[in-house]
Structure 1
Amino acid sequence: MKRILSSRLAIAAFAISASASFAWGQADTLRIAVINPFSGPLALYGDEVARGYQIAIDEANAKGGVAGRKIELLRGDASSPPQGIAAVEKLASQDKVEVFTGTYISAVSNAASDAALRYNRIYWDTNALAGDLTERGLPNFVRSGPYASSFAEVSATATKELLAPALKKDLKDTKVWIEHEDSIFGSSIAQLQKESLEKMGAKVVGLGAHNFRAIDLTDSILRAKATEPDVWIETGYVPDGSLLLRTMRDQGFKPPAIVMVATGDTFETLDAVGAEFLEGITVVGYPRPDQTEAYGPGAAAFLAAYRKKYDRDPIAPQGMTAYVGMQMLIEAIAAAGGTDMEKVRAAAAKMDKPLRSYATGFGAKFNANFQNTRAFPTVVQWQSGKVATVYPKDAAQPNVRLVNLPRK
């Protein structure tokens, strides 16, 4: 009887020990989840954002991780707000994720970050652009990358300082059409573009909206064509941007300058309309590794790390912005000593790095809504089937010049 009792006690002790060991093993790994589209038409960009995160995580883990813990990246597939909510609930409750990040689609970020708050989890966004995301004042939300206001500011400033001079026009004589997809992402940028351009003195001759899932955008192009703009600016996703360009070509609409905002600088656009039509088109987008090291210290190192890990060049520029955003998140977790939502936000509030501190050219300084005020897009131009950074001037390589403006 004593032997049986001793045996049972030993088994119980082993079970407790094993359970404790398992729990310790889980606690020893910091799980961060990325909420992005990993299936469907936008999966290419969700994957690219995750690749950027993984490179930053690999760098951190090679140095021992953060706050004494190695980092593991999990994925939550979400192309719509309901999918974003479901992904967060599953990852937080079942997979014990402590931190959430993303996001390629602003509407998904909006819903997923709210769901993360119900679990008291920080949501550190690196790529979503809608202004509403920070303006909500959500107590778990931080955005490290650029947003609607910065994209609108750069597109307006580039029109004044880069495009109007190339067209040999004074800005007050420059007619601008603004087109945008109609979600919170495109709408917020377009409205700010209109306000900024009009304040600078440009003539905004129209503001058009469309659904990025539309299969025919002829009306959008014909409305713009009728106003004969000098500059046509469009904010959207890849499918609608490519469709608009094809329709523009088919309808013989040839504005002297074309500006794509947030997308339009990847092989998908090149495949959709060809190098000849793209020649001279500019894109206000996420910073790219081809910029100078003086502007983005570490851009060349990111490119080398990407090529080594994935055996190819980056698919889209969103990856480097995600990489830098993850670096900032890891810095905040280290300063906070863990992943407590309030402590991470407090650590972020104390960050103070000047512009040109990261590979993207970003600095780090968060305002009261936890929007990084030192994160800006750059401007690239399609030249001979490739894109080259052309603005700001200190980001452009010395041998890069504007081409085909006005467009032939």
Structure 2
Amino acid sequence: MTRSSTPRPRTGTRATTRRTAVCTAAALAVALTACSAPGESDDDTKASSGPIKVAVVNAQSGQLSSLGDWEYKGAKLAVDEWNEKGGVDGRKIQLKLFDDQGDPTTGTNIARRLVSDKYVAMIGTAESAVTIAMGPVLQQAKIPNITSGQSDGLVALKSPYLFLNGPTSTTYDSTLAQHLVKDKGYKKIAMITNNGSFGKGEHDAFLKAVKDLGVTPSTDQVVTTDQKEFSAALTKIRSTKPEVIFIGSEEVEAGLIVKQARDLGITAPFAGAAPQGTPVFIDTAGKAAVEGTIVSSPYLSNDVSAASKKFAAAYQDAYGKEAELHGAKAYDGANILLTALKTSNGASGQELADAIRDTRYKGLLGDFQYDESGVGITKTTIGVIRDGELVPQQ
């Protein structure tokens, strides 16, 4: 019997087959990489269909839940308006709320979930300490984050994916210090702040601002974030007979401080930043106790412009409640994010972060233009509480 005369494949043919298989596998790998979620590869991603997943992370329980509620409502209002008009290039925005409980550890765990669940971006938090804790996880995953926090510690992270939807404590407090020292002529200024991220940021920013103006506080009292009784600190403040008292703490604690100060017979006006312009602060302290409080804010009321009136009316219609600063900040932040998603054709990662930085947006708080630090607005104005309402300084 003779062997078959069919020729065997040449070595070159086998090599070509192997190269074809390798190239096909490589092409498949590239295709799969292009579909990766944020944080799963070093490449930016851009999906062309399906909903765009955006998270809102804020306290929905605990002492800071009012902030989270305002922030969620503001962001949701903006998203609902975009979705009613077709979303971003026909893709709807899928907004999901996460409760960080005002706790940095909980926030960090949520950040990891945003990575695994393939969220494109995050709005929040309103608590600087929580946002700072989440920052490294979000940065590593290239997930852009627009926060309502104002601590200068946020800027110190130097994350190219972190953006503020309002001014920093330095802006709030330098404007306030200028008003108290230059406009009002106050020289005897007392301070009371807490030792949390927000309070420390306020403390350092205001202290530097007044010292730069040649004024050293008559006393500088620091309390804890969970403190409820302040008689010791307030007694020391009372002994200095201050002309004004700077307060750097969140809404509920600040309200308790003012209420107890009035009970101790302290009549000097208080001065502060964003928390002192909120209904929670006013309600906690009492209308009479907060009369004359001086507030530095980029959003003094719903009546300052045609845009603010339109926003407030839409907010009232949607939720049956009156809008305020934190809702306005989140509304601006969400609109900036959605605008960037549109201009980048639904990009994520570095490309989306670059689009946010390139966005010029005329918002409720002012004209946003982000710099490399993630700060987009650097101006506040002075208001005063009269008859339970924050109104522009006359």
**Fold shared per TM-score above 0.5:** yes
1:384 and 2:387 aligned: yes
1:34 and 2:60 aligned: no
SS in 2 for 1:97: coil
- Number of the residue aligned with 1:303: 312
Going from structure 1 to structure 2, the CA distance change for 1:26 and 1:289 (only over 3 Å counts) comes to: farther
Of the three residues 106, 112, 120, the one matched with 1:83 is: 106
Map residues 138-153 of structure 1 onto 2, 5 A cutoff.
138-153=159-174
Contact kept, 8 Å, 1:286 with 1:321, in 2: the verdict is no
Deviation string 1:76-135 (CA, Å, 9 cap, x unpaired) is 1112111001112223324x321112011111101122222343311122x101111122
Map residues 2-401 of structure 1 onto 2, 5 A cutoff.
27-78=49-100, 79-94=102-117, 96-125=118-147, 127-162=148-183, 164=184, 170-171=185-186, 174-255=187-268, 257-285=269-297, 287-293=299-305, 297-314=306-323, 316-352=324-360, 357-360=362-365, 362-372=366-376, 374-390=377-393, 401=394
Paired with 2:328 and 2:215, the residues of 1 have a C-alpha distance of: 33
Contact kept, 8 Å, 1:152 with 1:190, in 2: the verdict is no
Paired with 2:48 and 2:357, the residues of 1 have a C-alpha distance of: 29
Deviates more, 1:275-284 or 1:80-89: 275-284
Amino acid at match of 1:279: E
Deviation string 1:354-380 (CA, Å, 9 cap, x unpaired) is xxx3222x11222221211x2434433
Paired with 1:27 and 1:220, the residues of 2 have a C-alpha distance of: 58
Paired with 2:379 and 2:329, the residues of 1 have a C-alpha distance of: 10
Larger radius of gyration: 2
- Number of the residue aligned with 2:3: none
Paired with 2:287 and 2:373, the residues of 1 have a C-alpha distance of: 41
Amino acid at match of 2:67: Y
SS in 2 for 1:298: helix
SS in 1 for 2:367: coil
Deviation string 1:15-71 (CA, Å, 9 cap, x unpaired) is xxxxxxxxxx99511111011101122212201100000111122122221244211
User: How far did residue 304 of structure 1 move?
Assistant: 0.9
Paired with 2:198 and 2:388, the residues of 1 have a C-alpha distance of: 28
Going from structure 1 to structure 2, the CA distance change for 1:270 and 1:346 (only over 3 Å counts) comes to: closer
Paired with 2:182 and 2:288, the residues of 1 have a C-alpha distance of: 25
SS in 2 for 1:325: helix
Q: Aligned Cα RMSD in Å? A: 2.3
Going from structure 1 to structure 2, the CA distance change for 1:243 and 1:289 (only over 3 Å counts) comes to: closer
Paired with 1:103 and 1:136, the residues of 2 have a C-alpha distance of: 15
Amino acid at match of 2:82: A
Paired with 1:67 and 1:159, the residues of 2 have a C-alpha distance of: 49
Residue identity over aligned pairs, in percent, reads: 21
SS in 2 for 1:275: coil
Paired with 2:201 and 2:103, the residues of 1 have a C-alpha distance of: 19
Contact kept, 8 Å, 1:177 with 1:206, in 2: the verdict is yes
SS in 2 for 1:204: coil
User: How far did residue 348 of structure 1 move?
Assistant: 2.9
Amino acid at match of 1:359: L
Going from structure 1 to structure 2, the CA distance change for 1:349 and 1:312 (only over 3 Å counts) comes to: closer
Paired with 1:123 and 1:381, the residues of 2 have a C-alpha distance of: 32
Deviation string 1:210-247 (CA, Å, 9 cap, x unpaired) is 11210211122122222222111101112211221122
Contact kept, 8 Å, 2:142 with 2:350, in 1: the verdict is no
TM-score, structure 1 normalization: 0.79
Paired with 2:382 and 2:125, the residues of 1 have a C-alpha distance of: 21
Going from structure 1 to structure 2, the CA distance change for 1:232 and 1:199 (only over 3 Å counts) comes to: same
- Number of the residue aligned with 2:4: none
Contact kept, 8 Å, 2:143 with 2:161, in 1: the verdict is yes
TM-score, structure 2 normalization: 0.82
Alignment size in residue pairs:
349
User: How far did residue 277 of structure 1 move?
Assistant: 2.2
- Number of the residue aligned with 2:24: none
Paired with 2:108 and 2:87, the residues of 1 have a C-alpha distance of: 28
SS in 2 for 1:154: helix
- Number of the residue aligned with 2:28: none
Contact kept, 8 Å, 1:363 with 1:375, in 2: the verdict is no
Paired with 1:386 and 1:310, the residues of 2 have a C-alpha distance of: 20
Paired with 1:258 and 1:289, the residues of 2 have a C-alpha distance of: 19
SS in 2 for 1:343: helix
Amino acid at match of 1:218: S
- Number of the residue aligned with 1:19: none
